[in-house]
Amino acid sequence: MESVLASNDPEKTENSMDKKYANALKGKIDADSMKKLDALKNGMLHAFVAEAVELCQPDSIKVFDDSDADADYVRKKAVELGEEKPLAIQGHTYHFDGMADQGRDKEVTRYLVPPGDSLDKTLNQIGRDEGLAEVRSLLAGSMEGRQMIVRLFCLGPTNSPFGIPCAQITDSFYVSHSEDLLYRRGYEEFRRIGDSDRFFRFLHSAGRMENMVSAEPEKKRIYIDYSREQIYSVNTQYAGNTVGLKKLALRLAIRKADREGWLAEHMFAMGSKGPGGRITYFCGAFPSACGKTSTAMIPGETIIGDDLAYFRIIDGQLRAVNVEEGIFGIIQDVKAKDDPVIWDVLTRPGEVIFSNVLIKDGRPYWLGMGQDLPKDGVNYSGPWTAGKKDSSGAEILAAHKNARYTISLRAIANMDSQLDNPKGVPVGGIIYGGRDSDTSVPVQQAFDWTHGIAAYGASLESETTAATIGKEGVRTFNLMSNLDFLAIPVGRYILNNLNFVKPLSTPPLVFAVNYFLRGKDGKFLNGMRDKAVWIKWMELRVNGQADAIKAPTGQIPKYEDIRRLFKQVLDKDYSRDDYVTQFTIRVPENLAKLDRIEKIYRSEITDTPPVVLEILAAQRKRLDDLKTAKGDYVSPLSL
């Protein structure tokens, strides 16, 4: 989208939009919208809107500011057009994506690489000129008969060193409504930045639709023009592909952070309450459906955010903000007993969007909700009855495994008071976790920052789930839970993390957790609520109030500390046998993991920092030594 930007127009006046941009909008934009757009003296923004109009050919254009009235218009329009439908509880709506549009689609999400530039070969990419031509051809005329929505938001708090202004153009009121719940409004932020060109841009169209669902998923494209900080998305509605400020913006932010010396991470942020009323803040990276949101929302603790965090060094501290102010969360297995905080929001009046769940008599149902599901209803496949099959003969479940809810954090009872602090919160600990059925203990602490980044973050594996399109249950490498979103070389990204804390005298501690360890019978060894205990142990470790045992892979809790915490936190007796079963060091499995990780860093990643291989080699030696001394499976009581 460079046709207008490439030209120079001498007719620009000091107090109004360039005539070439105004002419592009003429006859399509109402007076109020024109006034709002013209009030923002930002030539790049004006050009972005004009070019989108020129390409997508909407019937009309509406520009929104930060007012509640404008947000209400979006909500009502989403229902009026049928992109969302109301439920029995006031404020609740539901939305369906298409059968082939139920998760982030990595195969058609590509970086546009300019001539002369190169990205890591592990990243999905296409030449910029070729990719632009393709996606522009799909977007051409895509908004005919529809209204173009121009929204302005901010990633991170407004008027903050963390904040990044963003402009989203879409023809989907569902997408726009989702963004209202997920992000801070940014119209006034654009007024504050004036004519700066330092903002992210997102252009989305649902494409041709049938029954308000994108009808051509085979033409779905999500292209990242990182050299211009712009995203293109077409023929899709699923929020992970269309809500530009989410994982699409993360790719741009990682590159921006690399240039400017900060970090953009796929991490939650939460506060754990310790003795004496203190709050210790943790950030954690977990792949989707691995306990990330439920950790961020542990009852009795406070939540800053469940998905994305920016990090900066401010006043001698590593500080973090939640990029968002809402949650687009996986709803499968959310139940009253295990997730009382989110259950409360999902079952009382207030603004909630459910997506790809089962609807029966005005109520939403989802997998693992702790209740019997109806045998019929309506879901993303249309009218549904138990046993229904898709075109390939596979059974269609009552709700999709990646069904979601979208809410504002401000609806949650334990939202942390520092959510909008422009300086963020001080981070005491970093946590890495994934789905691991047979290798890692439930919780452990790295020996130091470098060990934690190399052996936990850069060695993160997880068994795949329904949050991404593809086969489930496959163990995949996903360093820092950020591999899918990198737009810089992997080695440089790791070095950025390793070097980030060098200015700090006391960097945060680094931990690893595993909620999915199974016993020989295949059953989980952790309870759903046990994570509340692991967090409390980590909080004590950060503050020097709990001991640990040195194991080959890190420092693990002592039985006495964990037993006491189980009683304090969950009123649960924790046996010595449970402790031994959960914290036994599984030497063969840990060595096999090292084999897999070292192979990746030696053969697939060309710029692996040497220190990563050194840390992994030292860990291998500790495991080999333990095996020689005490065997393959070593009780924590023997360490």
Annotated active-site positions, please?
290
Q: Cα–Cα distance between 310 and 269 in angstroms, integer?
A: 10
Residue with tokens 């109806």: 374
Q: Cα–Cα distance between 148 and 132 in angstroms, integer?
A: 21
**Cα distances (Å, whole numbers) of residue 497 to 314, 316, 359, 565:** 16, 17, 44, 32
Q: Cα–Cα distance between 3 and 138 in angstroms, integer?
A: 17
Q: Cα–Cα distance between 309 and 324 in angstroms, integer?
A: 8
Q: Cα–Cα distance between 479 and 227 in angstroms, integer?
A: 24
100: how many CB neighbours lie within 10 A of its CB? Answer: 15
Q: Cα–Cα distance between 386 and 122 in angstroms, integer?
A: 40
Q: Cα–Cα distance between 339 and 354 in angstroms, integer?
A: 17
SS3 for 579? helix
Q: Please name every residue paired with 147 in a beta bridge, in sequence order, or none if there are none.
A: 60
Provide the token pair at 472. 């489930």
Reduced to 3 DSSP states, what percent helix, strand and coil does the chain have, rounded to the nearest 5?
35, 25, 40
Q: Report DSSP state, residue 481.
A: G
| C-alpha closest to that of 1 among 107, 97, 135 | 135
Phi, psi (rounded to 5 degrees) for 374: -60, 155
Interior CA angle at 202 toward 198 and 205, to 5°?
165
Q: Cα–Cα distance between 282 and 303 in angstroms, integer?
A: 10
HSE (CB half, 13 Å, CA atoms) of 567? 8
Q: Please name every residue paired with 585 in a beta bridge, in sequence order, or none if there are none.
A: 634
Residues 6+ away with beta carbon under 8 Å from 623 = 552, 553, 585, 587, 590, 591, 594
CA dihedral 243, 246, 251, 254 (to 10 degrees): 150
Q: Cα–Cα distance between 132 and 452 in angstroms, integer?
A: 40
SS3 for 174? helix
By the 8 A CB rule, do 483 and 122 touch? yes
Phi, psi (rounded to 5 degrees) for 254: -60, -40
